[in-house]
Amino acid sequence: MALTFIVPGPLHQLTGGYLFDRQVVDGLRAQGRTVEVKELAGSFPEPDAAARRAAAAALAGLEEGAAAVIDGLALPAFLECCTPDAARHHRLVGFVHHPLALEIGLPLETREALALAEARLLPLLAGVLCPSRTTAWHMEEYGVARSRLLVTPPGTAKPSSPPRRASREGPVRLLCVATISPRKGHLLLIEALAELTDRPWQLTCIGSLTRDPDATLALEQAIARHGLGGRVLLAGEWPPERLGAAYADADCFVLPSYHEGYGMAFAEALAHGLPIVATTAGAIPETVPPGAAMLVPPGDRVSLVRALAMVLEKAPLRLQLATAAATAGAALPDWPEAVGRWAEALDRLVAG
């Protein structure tokens, strides 16, 4: 079955969603399938005129009955062109990493517009692929029938040898891997760590500094305001092949997200046997078992400070969490397995 895979902008972007998309495209092609990638021009997720034109052209270019996957980030650009009649003439499947309306920091009118777009478009599709049960539940809220929802988690890049964690001298090395954006909770993390300057720690944040310049500026200002410039490194984006070294060098993974549709960085931290400090937001508890992490309510600074203090002060606790993390990480699917399941799910939705 030939497939058109529609993504917003270049496919080779370094976020979890794009990495998932690229692994799927490469994996399907490795299976011998024909996959054409259409990279839409314009701005997303709030589509500008260029994005709407690109979406309309992509839809018009599909042959009658053709199968196409639309990344959820691109979906609002199809609001005008994807009519019920147009949807009936093709086999369109949504690949929704998380609901766009749940992004943190958006104006109310923007959130409402994104929610309306998703609520109108998603039920028109032949089905929706989701990385977690949490995201699938949100799709049901949008009116997608449960029979047309399939959960297909991503794969996990794993180290070549089993991780071994042990207490080390010096400051506790904290690692955060996420694009700098309000939803990921970097600002809250800095505010919490500012209360723990009497403990020895260093924080490395790996993730784009340019996708949300306002969020990056606010983070840099908070770091300066609390005098943490010598302790916090904003390292920018790293290619996936470099991340393994960062996970191996860290003592604990920290990411207090306000929402996650899955959280590939959490899975990679588990695979590398890292104890985790995170939140109960979205699908994080689906991925991260309690024994491997200290999970606190999203946005709860007091609880986050308490959890961070415990992992900073108690090396035996870090080792206990790390052991459970390594066990959980070993059970996660690798990419070939995950892509195989994704392909089977796609075939079911298209055939249905």
Q: Are residues 312 and 342 in the same domain?
A: no
Across 12-23, average pLDDT: 94
Instruction: Provide the mean pLDDT of the chain.
Output: 95
Distance set, CA 204 to CA 70, 97, 270 (Å): 34, 26, 18
Residues 294 and 215 in one domain: yes
What's 244's domain CATH number? Answer: 3.40.50.2000
Q: What average pLDDT does the segment 256-279 reach?
A: 96
- State which residues form the domain around 324: 172-330
In angstroms, rounded to a whole number, what is the distance separating the alpha carbons of residues 207 and 230? Answer: 19
Same domain, 88 and 208: no
Query: For residue 305, which amino acid is it?
Result: V
Tell me what pLDDT residue 38 has. Answer: 97
Determine the Cα angle at 15 with ends 224 and 188, to 5°: 35
| Model confidence, pTM | 0.93
- The model's pLDDT over 51-89, given as tens digits with 9 standing for 90+, comes to 999 999 999 999 998 999 999 999 999 999 999 988 888
**Which of 91, 78, 94 has the alpha carbon at shortest distance from 129?**
94
Are 205 and 302 in the same domain?
yes
In this predicted model, what pLDDT tens digit does every residue of 252-266 receive, in sequence order?
999 999 999 999 999
Q: Find the angle CA(8)-CA(148)-CA(69) to the nearest 5 degrees.
A: 25
Q: Is the residue at 91 inside a domain?
A: yes
What is the gyration radius of the CA atoms in the chain, in angstroms? Answer: 21
Beta strands in the chain (DSSP E): 3-8, 35-40, 67-71, 91-95, 127-130, 149-151, 172-177, 201-206, 232-236, 252-255, 276-279, 293-296
Look at residue 164 and tell me if it is in a domain.
Answer: no
CB 144 within 8 A of CB 124: no
Do 189 and 279 lie in a common domain?
yes
Is there a domain that residue 165 lies in?
A: no
CA–CA separation, 106 vs 115, rounded Å? 12
325 Cα distance to chain centroid:
19
Residue 234 and residue 262 share a domain: yes
What distance in Å separates the CA atoms of residue 52 and residue 22, rounded to the nearest whole number? 23
| 264, 19 Cβ separation under 8 angstroms | yes
Same domain, 134 and 239: no
Given a cut of 90, is residue 165 above it in pLDDT?
Answer: no
Convert the pLDDT of each residue in 324-352 to its tens digit: 999 999 999 999 999 999 999 999 999 98
User: Does the residue 297 lie in any domain?
Assistant: yes
Q: Which residues pair with 37 in a beta bridge?
A: 5
Is residue 128 helix, strand or coil?
A: strand
Note the pLDDT tens digit of each residue in 296-307. Answer: 999 999 999 999
Which 8-state DSSP code applies to residue 63? P
